Structure 1
């Protein structure tokens, strides 16, 4: 593991010493200061024991999550989050651990574990609040679905291992759980119909072809058959034959009928009951639900009206900066005409999918060359650049990142959507790479996984505002790193920042201000050079997962605010590398907890 995290490692070491030295504190001649330290150590260990047990319980309850964080003992289970038994167990788990952590004396913990305590308590409290809303009635959408996750796991290039007979049997069992889950999805969506908690019609129309694409006549043509195409040579011929037959039988006789049945349900029953409204405000108690989702994703208490106004201000500022770039490159025409040229002229696009991927590989090398000047903490894991798989490229985002395997056996993956070359302009390469890969998501997530001396839940928990805010901050950092000397690449940075600013306006517009899908699409077309297909996919994404898109800009603005505060207070003592290390070495934090950490660091640096 990494060796950068001395402070975090010491916290755990002190806790262990508190256990080892407990008998010595009974010595009446001991130094009073030693007694104080020992009390802190004992408190630390009590807290660590509590959250370690929580992590074991939560991974047992959520076996798919366990697989992704490198725990293989539950690889045979799917984990049906829609059953009454699961919902009851989740509630009891959150209640039990929130009560338990509240019973501890936070002030007795070491500084690093006080941050962890705050993070843990915040997480459990928000989870319990979220239970008040009927999310179970909308268990899937066109953007997020366990169906997509299962296909990615079946590829053999994700977290699910396919090396032994036991691994292959585990997947068969997990598939049985997935098939049962499909039946429960119908039950919950029917309850949603009765309660008028349903998806917008257009999103259902997007889902139907996704499911139809998985319907095949022969098992060998299914993406779920991929593990058989990659049977390892270490297996005997007999084992290979038995495994192959079992997979063929399961896919043909169980999986395909279940997928066919669910597809027919979507196309028939559910589609005709889908709603005509586009925003969450069209649902029962939708405005309160949306405010909760905004709070959840931004980890703030900002009212959605305030978020909307911040977005309007940011859009205006970025438009002005874009116009300066138009003048700098000597473009004769208006800003909308500049947008049109950048979005349509052949010179701004790659000629092939292969050239597109190569463009990002070259950007990786340019960025890697300057990273040591800005970071003294970097991930051990590398990342690779890959095209988005064909089965999901039509509805997938333009790019995404998948974390490396926890055990180091697989690098992080920077996915580029090559489906529409006109949606991937050359001028967007640098900023997108900074955001999704290094030093954006790859740095933040890989370093978090490699942390030592912090509770497991902290290594594997995530908050959108922190993670997306950091990635957007990484784009900003590209200016200082000298990566935007080409004005067109700088325009790409502004274009991506504009997307995040528009999200504040459009997401809140859709879900709190009664905007229609068409109104949201037009707003984005008027204020950016994004391809029409990208804009449609973006708006429909906001419709499906309200509030998530708010996290980027809110998080970035808070990080920039904290950096400016540190620079103003520390002056010549401000160390940018150290500031970045402070942000990266405690995992993903709620905004208030992150601010608390940086303020404490500023105070410590001021004394040195």
Structure 2
């Protein structure tokens, strides 16, 4: 589910279960209770964090739309410029100065957690501003260009319910065009400084822009809102909006997309780089170390992580061999991988069949979740195919959080672009990860927790969100799933994917691995389709450090479960442990660990 503190909502960051919305299975979602008397320091902190959240939206109006702040619906993000970077730096440093003036020794409970989180976030933001990420502002996996297209499709968070909504998007489009021009300028500077995307990633960007260069306005994605004009609009309003949108698309958006397409094809791609790792960029080693710290919140070196990955890949391969023997397959593990990749019995014939299968698994899992949880989100989620315009480059599955007001459910996206990349044996494990009790459970619950400061309610950490989702997969057998050996293989395949990520991410960005080396390694150690492997490899190249968060987050949560169980013995309650992990929202791993250990001590 996709890293500013609001991005959890754009990707994930980034969001009820029919079986979990029953009053018999839910409790009021209230964070750990504060002390009876609120100290002056706590009052000062509460004021500061609320102001921080509201003021931060000026840098991310798209996030404002996702969380229902409609006053931002006509704005796009600021164009890339030194002035805007200075403004962001001044904002961050001002809040650091205000925070340090608060006496943290007087804080407890939620106030202490908020102080620790904000202090860490601000320091990390200042550190990150020392690296020129603005020179590579978009890639094939992420960027405001895709968020904008989603908004314009009328299938995302941008509302199109009244006349003002339609006017708002026109204004937002003006901002997008200005921003897109600044993106080209920034990427041109990147060429001059040799800070550019690897060639395979740059090439994947091109079709994302060319898709919007149309000759017939009705073929444009951005004409979609006109195709669903509300019935209550007058004939004059409908005619006026149709004319406005037609002019916006053909006179401004298509030329802007054409200009960017030409820049990519004629200038940027020819000068993109052949190497793929951050270690090949200026100050790349320090830049990658920062990415590890940002994404994992842990103090681990690239070498340590690489070694952990190699050990996990080997362990999981052994378990895969056991499944091969269990199902009576004669041949090597490599032969078994080929069998799983190529046999039609493991794949659906149509996208509709695939989506229907996930909808059926949803009902099955929802009915079993209460056995391990005493809290559940009120918000529902739906299963939906990834939109065509981004399917070729999108991940195999992803999650988008529900709207805070409940008007829009969470979305569990399945990529139906290549059905051979969506085997049947992934149904259970992938549904657990992306939906319940994985991403949907954690992110929707976080939004629903009462009295949680907004910067935490709508914030997040990749290592927490992805670590939780992978830990949730490990609960499958406890939920009565994975009884079919192939479904258990699916769980192992998913875990193997996350283990290989530790090897490949560090391999690319710290050890000089090539793109082909990464592809060969994944094909050798998994049954994944080549198309899926290629997309995964290019994802790790585009998002250094992000792929490390899954396994490392899972390890930490499992470690905390083992610690709690050992310390509490018979008093250990798995439902209460899960509540303690989830009830305070996403936390950096060191802060989560300290919190769980305080909880364990309080239970003795």
TM-score interval (norm. to shorter):
over 0.9
Q: Name the residue aligned to 1:273.
A: 271
Q: CA deviation at 1:361?
A: 0.7
Q: Name the residue aligned to 1:373.
A: 371
Q: Deviations over 1:225-252 (max 9, x none)?
A: 1111121112222111111111111111
Q: Does 1:154 align with 2:152?
A: yes
Q: CA deviation at 1:3?
A: 5.8
* Closer, same or farther: CA 81–301 of 1 in aligned 2, 3 Å: farther
Q: Name the residue aligned to 2:531.
A: 533
Q: Name the residue aligned to 1:5.
A: 29
Note if contact 2:30-2:449 (Cα within 8 Å) is conserved in structure 1.
no
Q: Does 1:463 align with 2:461?
A: yes
Q: Does 1:491 align with 2:489?
A: yes
CA distance in 1: counterparts of 2:280 and 2:231, whole angstroms:
55
CA distance in 1: counterparts of 2:337 and 2:227, whole angstroms:
45
Note if contact 2:442-2:582 (Cα within 8 Å) is conserved in structure 1.
yes
Q: Name the residue aligned to 1:109.
A: 107
Q: CA deviation at 1:519?
A: 0.5
Larger RCO (CA under 8 A, 6+ residues apart) = 2
Note if contact 2:449-2:583 (Cα within 8 Å) is conserved in structure 1.
yes
Q: Name the residue aligned to 2:402.
A: 404
Note if contact 1:81-1:87 (Cα within 8 Å) is conserved in structure 2.
no
Note if contact 1:331-1:338 (Cα within 8 Å) is conserved in structure 2.
yes
CA distance in 2: counterparts of 1:88 and 1:233, whole angstroms:
46
Q: Name the residue aligned to 1:256.
A: 254
Map 1:128-143 onto structure 2 (within 5 A): 128-143=126-141
Q: Work out which of the residue numbers 582, 585, 596 in structure 2 matches 1:584.
A: 582
Equivalent pairs, count: 580
Q: Name the residue aligned to 1:194.
A: 192
Report the TM-score when normalising by structure 2.
0.94
Note if contact 2:209-2:261 (Cα within 8 Å) is conserved in structure 1.
yes
Map 1:177-188 onto structure 2 (within 5 A): 177-188=175-186
CA distance in 1: counterparts of 2:369 and 2:494, whole angstroms:
21
Q: CA deviation at 1:484?
A: 0.6
Note if contact 1:156-1:162 (Cα within 8 Å) is conserved in structure 2.
yes
Q: Name the residue aligned to 2:436.
A: 438
Q: Deviations over 1:291-340 (max 9, x none)?
A: 10011111112111111111011111111111111111111111111111
Note if contact 2:384-2:411 (Cα within 8 Å) is conserved in structure 1.
yes
CA distance in 1: counterparts of 2:107 and 2:126, whole angstroms:
25
Report the secondary structure of 1:245's partner residue: helix
Q: Deviations over 1:441-497 (max 9, x none)?
A: 000110011111111000011110000000001100112111011110000000000
Gaps of 5+ in 1: 15-36
Report the secondary structure of 1:480's partner residue: coil
CA distance in 1: counterparts of 2:81 and 2:229, whole angstroms:
34
Map 1:75-474 onto structure 2 (within 5 A): 75-474=73-472
* Closer, same or farther: CA 81–322 of 1 in aligned 2, 3 Å: farther
Q: Deviations over 1:378-436 (max 9, x none)?
A: 00001000111111111111000000011100110001011111110100110000000
CA distance in 2: counterparts of 1:451 and 1:421, whole angstroms:
38
Give the helix-richer structure, 1 or 2.
1
Report the TM-score when normalising by structure 1.
0.94
Note if contact 2:31-2:449 (Cα within 8 Å) is conserved in structure 1.
no
Report the secondary structure of 2:382's partner residue: strand
CA distance in 2: counterparts of 1:107 and 1:160, whole angstroms:
43
Q: CA deviation at 1:7?
A: 4.0
Report the secondary structure of 1:595's partner residue: helix
